Amino acid sequence: MTLVSDPVETGLVPSLARPGSNITGLSLMHPELSAKRLALLKEVIPKLSRVAVFWSSSTPSYRLVLRETEAAARALGIQLHVVEVRGPADFDSAFSAIGRERVGALVVLPDAMFRDQQRRVLDRAAKSRLPTIYWSRDLVKAGGFIAYGANFPDVLRQAAAFVDKILKGAKPADLPIEQPAKFELVINLKTAKALGADEIIQ
């Protein structure tokens, strides 16, 4: 496995050190990293007090990511406005809802649907002039404001090392599950300037 949020909490394995089954690989640490993303937004926008969160229940493990985000918000003194986006048809109502709440920023939690619909998310966030943080550099390269997460090319290299060991006879149960070794913070300065946040970042 390479793109699993938290294999222990979701019941795939009993522990990272001793998976004890026919499953091993990498955990992407999405719950822990989501808390870090919220803290980064607070650093960029020190007066931030109200933040919207987009999440999808299509992947059950991402409830853990939402839970950690809510815990981080309490620690930072941030009021969260959680909006579930079940599919593409929900985006208009979701952005209308957070517009009424007058939030200062948006956190988009990891989900394949948000990645597949990234153009819609990016365009609406830009139109709303809403600083938004994502989990992948790909969304920032496409025009998003900021992202923090695992370096995916490095994750795939780590995964290849697992494949090599297993093909050479290692048992998955004997291979501890690893976490990403490299993380990256990516900022689109053009988008930052459009949002008026470039001076803060510099």
Q: Where are the domains of the chain?
A: 31-153
Q: State the average pLDDT over residues 48-55.
A: 95
Q: Tell me whether residue 164 is exposed, middle or buried, using C-beta atoms within 10 angstroms of its C-beta: 0 to 12, 13 to 18, 19 or more.
A: exposed
The Cα 109–Cα 83 span in angstroms is: 11
The Cα 39–Cα 195 span in angstroms is: 19
User: How many CB atoms sit inside 10 A of residue 138's CB?
Assistant: 14
Q: How far is CA 81 from CA 112, 147, 201, in A?
A: 21, 20, 25
**Paired strand residues for 27:** 4
Structure tokens at 47: 């007066």
Is the overall model pTM greater than 0.85, yes or no? yes
Residues 159-195: tens digit of each pLDDT: 999 999 999 999 999 999 999 989 999 999 999 988 8
Structure tokens at 25: 């690989």
Pick 31-153's CATH classification: 3.50.30.50, 3.30.70.20, 3.40.50.2300, 3.30.930.10. 3.40.50.2300
Q: Which of 143, 134, 148 is nearest to 194 (CA)?
A: 143
Residues 100-119: tens digit of each pLDDT: 999 999 999 988 889 999 99
